[in-house]
Structure 1
Amino acid sequence: MDDRARELHAAAEAISPVSLQEAKDAIAGSCQEYRRWADLFSRRLDGLPDEKLHQFARAFSLTMLGHLPTRPGTCPFCIQYGRDRACAGCGYAATHGRCDEDDSAFILFIEAFQELGRAIYQDTGRMCFSADEARHILPSCIQSSIEAVLQMEQALASASTLDLMQLKAKHMGKMVDLIPVQLLSQEVAIRRQKVKSALRNYW
């Protein structure tokens, strides 16, 4: 185990079972809510007119982003140390920088994440793909996202804090990969890549 791995291990070991479980419960709740939304998207797609497919792709993508575990309530470190504005004792702050610092791992990630959401929201152009191709791409993205969320839920039960932070980063990367960028603007694809790059340092 190298020095960095030891630091991360020590930071994770300091998290109480109560804080860890609270974060798990919040993530599980968000996953369950997302699956309900994904099921609704799946059922509505068949009856959707072709001219609404681009709008549908944007709405699906934004809904998926909105249910990813980015909020303080899904972070065991924020739960345990967030009541102190100085984040005293927080192992994540010690290893990645305080989350409100301009160059911290979290700020770099969340800024890229927000820019991705903005690019999707403002993408009011037309699809580059035909409606038939879109109707092939979208169901696959929706189903794959449901499967990814189910995998995340199943992994939560036995996850340690160290596992959970790794799972969150992996899960968010997997989910942003399922954004149907083929149907959206080039800027969305660029912004997605920036999120994936920032996730490398998330934990």
Structure 2
Amino acid sequence: MSSATSSRRDARRNHERLLSEAKALFAERGIDAPLDELASRAGVGAGTVYRHFPTRDALFRELYEQSITMFHDLAPEIVGGETGWRSIELFLERLSEWVATTPYLPELMRRVAEQDPEYRPGLEFEAALDGVVERAKAEGALREDVTGVDLNILVNMLGSLGQFGGDYLPHWRRQLAIVLDGLRARPDLEPLPVAPQAFGDFHDMAHRR
């Protein structure tokens, strides 16, 4: 193996270690935690951190891009549920659990939006989620007045349980079960109050645009 190949391999390994340790550090202390501590946790010098991420914003952007990739990776499982209702369950379960274990995510989203207000990759998921919603309604499983934005809001609500730390995470599925029960279509349901929010408006609100 050439020294150049070895150096590239070491650089990739350091890059992945820094990302992994950044997630753990930000989950514990928020996204403004000192990058010197990140270097210490990753077992590298401060200079190595700044070679990989010249600014804190560069680190934020890469973590955000990983989040978008995760959405893409989950999409086939969610959209491919055996029924529309199963897709609803998978959407709420998979994303809520992820948000609950990533408590720094809302602030990360807002920082990236401040950096690049025109970058709105979340909007690309609107059509797929609307398709899941309509499929579940056509089956008679989902109440007719629920929208994809409602489901996104519920993900944020369930995910906020992560604020209580790891001690509560084994119990969050209780709230998931309650939410799913409230989404089911039933005869004689009272209509939901207030008109639903548009997806684009929700997206911008979540990013504080």
TM-score by length of 1: 0.30
Higher RCO (Cα < 8 Å, 6 or more apart): 1
